[in-house]
Amino acid sequence: TQEKLALTIANRAKHAGSFRLGAVAAEAEELLDDLRQHPDASRVSSAGSYRRRKEIVRDLDFIVATKAPEEVTEFFVRHALVESVIARGATKTSVRLHSGISADLRVVSTAEYPFALGYFTGSKEHNIVLRNRALQRGWTLNEYRLSPVETETKKKKPLREIPRVRDETELYRALDLDFIPPELRENSGEIEAAAEGRLPRLLEPENLRGTFHCHTTASDGRNSLEEMAAAAQDLGLQYLGIADHSRSSIQAGGMDLARLRTQVAAIRKLNETFDDFRLFAGVECDILRDGSLDFDDETLGELDYVVASVHSAFQLPEAEMTKRIIRAISNPQVTFLAHPTGRLLLSREAYALDVPAIIEAAAETGTWIEINAAPRRLDLDWRWWPLAKEKGVRCVINPDAHGVEKLQELWFGVGVARKGWLTRDDVMNCLPLGKIESALAQKRAR
């Protein structure tokens, strides 16, 4: 434990000033809502890495268009979430919130708003390309406006007249680009795609019809089947998959065969009481050290679906870990691979794994890959999804909820999917009840 403590302290130092998106989202959304209510604020948005839904953010940024910057600034610094004021100026004010994260407010005019919003949303790399596109047209682009390029002697005549820009869509249009959603602004191909009119129509939160991979008191969850089902219905979901831990996950209260069968029976019985809602009976089945599964095929075949997860032997060499997971997902009983890399943001590195090989195997076997939406995981990372999509791998977004209030963390998974360029067609749990059943059966049929 001495060693563990030292590691914890080292980790904390390494990650000082970094926050998980999920740790600051509630504060960010509350501030946004309250700024939007302010009578002097005509337009309000977040900006920065929070708006781009990066998994780790270092500060929060807010942009407000207003004719009364003093009043809006005063409202901001007096907000209940603000712990202290770091600096207060005419256009920029920095505060520290109770969570410890700093938040910058920028107050601008309505005319400046789209430019400030674009500039402070970033990323830097994305903005550099935008500025170059402006230069090619004889303009300079900054956080306030588009203006003609000036030379030392006289104003050079702009190559093209500067169009009117009232919002971000018109800003991109001025540069001959389709509007680029903030999540894609990482300079990883989005500008080329926007120039050619081939940006995908990204997944929206309301496209999700249900979700899988949730826990109940049958293993390490805090709520009953009934409570989880009610919470899912409250969120407007049509179905919820229950996947409690299997017997090898002793520390998580994993179920033995008898308890698994009791739970399946309880789910089947509960389903008789629903009209337009369904629980699916699954299990989060441990992938054992050699890649075999914690229950035999016959047992797994009694379930509606099977989640395969690594919860042990994290230190295997990369080749062995890769082989282990490929063996597991090659079992036709397995529906999807959960939290594929095992990372815990800001606390535990991913285990050594050949992710492209896993993606290849998932494509070959028709196994879905999870976006685990729990904000400490957000695994598989958004950076891998364009490759997975190209290979034809299907995605499933799950909260891995251990309590009713955690079901809403699906929202973070949607952010990851959008950053990964995914559409509703790429995400299995966009399928409605009536279609999802055959999709579940399909993997087994392969």
Q: How far is the CB of 370 from Zn ion (least distance, A)?
A: 10
Which CB sits closer to Zn ion, 191 or 308? 308
- The CA-atom distances, in angstroms, between 120 and each of 26, 143, 149 are 21, 8, 22
Residue with Cβ nearer Zn ion (48 or 282): 282
Helix axes 124-136, 113-121, angle to 10 degrees: 130
CB of 149 vs Zn ion, minimal distance in Å? 55
Instruction: Please say whether the beta carbons of 61 and 116 come within 8 A.
Output: no
- Cβ contact 140:114 at 8 Å: no
Q: Is 335 in the site for Zn ion (CB under 5 A)?
A: no
Of the two residues 101 and 338, which places its CB atom closer to Zn ion in the complex? 338
Query: Would you report the helix, strand and coil content of the chain in percent, each value rounded to 5?
Result: 40, 20, 40
Task: Please identify, among the stretches 84-92, 303-311, 329-337, 412-420, the one whose residues bind Zn ion according to the rule CB under 5 A.
Answer: 303-311
Tell which positions 230-259 bind Zn ion, by CB under 5 A. Answer: none
Helix axis angle for 318-329 and 355-365, nearest 10°, is 10
Contact pattern from residue 56 through residue 75 relative to Zn ion, giving x for each residue in contact according to CB under 5 A and a dash for the rest:
--------------------
For residues 291 and 310, give the distance between their C-alpha atoms in angstroms, rounded to a whole number: 9
Are 54 and 420 contacting, i.e. CB atoms less than 8 angstroms apart? no
- Nearest approach in angstroms of CB 171 to Zn ion is 42
Give me the least distance between CB of 286 and Zn ion, in Å please.
9
Taking the least distance from each CB to Zn ion, the nearer of 242 and 355 is 242
Torsion of CA 285, 286, 287, 290, to 10 degrees: -130
Q: Which stretch binds Zn ion (CB under 5 A): 25-33, 76-84, 306-314, 427-435?
A: 306-314
Which has the closest alpha carbon to 42: 92, 117, 154? 117
Task: Between 331 and 372, name the residue whose CB sits nearer to Zn ion.
Answer: 372
Binding window for Zn ion (CB under 5 A); candidates: 52-60, 197-205, 357-365, 398-406: 398-406
Q: Which span sits near Zn ion by CB under 5 A: 52-60, 133-141, 183-191, 307-315?
A: 307-315
Q: Report, in Å, the least distance between residue 311 CB and Zn ion.
A: 6
Distance CA 398, CA 390 (A): 21
Stretch of 17-25, 52-60, 379-387, 399-407 contacting Zn ion, by CB under 5 A = 399-407
Angle between helix 69-77 and 21-37 (nearest 10): 140
* Smallest distance from Zn ion to CB 236, Å: 23
What's the min distance (Å) between Cβ of 6 and Zn ion?
27
Q: Which string of x and - marks every residue 254-293 that binds Zn ion (by CB under 5 A)?
A: ------------------------------x---------
CB of 216 to Zn ion, least distance (A): 11
Nearer Cβ to Zn ion (309/333): 309
Cα–Cα distance for residue pair 179/198, rounded to 1 Å: 11
Q: Which of 400, 411, 418, 422 binds Zn ion (CB under 5 A)?
A: 400
The count of chain residues that interact with Zn ion, using the rule CB under 5 A, is 3
Tell me how far, at minimum, the Cβ of 382 lies from Zn ion, in Å.
20
Spatial contact of 306 and 283, defined as CB atoms under 8 Å apart: yes
CA distance 427 to 204: 11
Give the nearest distance from C-beta 218 to Zn ion in angstroms.
12
Smallest Cα–Cα separation from 128: which of 118, 331, 138? 118
Q: How far is CA 385 from CA 123, 224, 392, 420, in A?
A: 19, 33, 10, 5
Alpha-carbon gap, residue 405 to 402, rounded angstroms:
9
Cβ atoms of 133 and 125 closer than 8 Å: no
Work out whether 309 is an interface residue with Zn ion (CB under 5 A): yes
Nearest approach in angstroms of CB 402 to Zn ion is 7
Please identify, using beta-carbon distances, which residue of 238 and 372 lies nearer to Zn ion.
Answer: 372
172 versus 212: smaller Cβ distance to Zn ion: 212
Among all chains, which residue has been given the structure tokens 């403590």?
Answer: 5
- Which of helix, strand or coil describes residue 304? coil
Contact between 379 and Zn ion by CB under 5 A: the answer reads no
- Residues at the site binding Zn ion, with contacts judged by CB under 5 A: 284, 309, 400
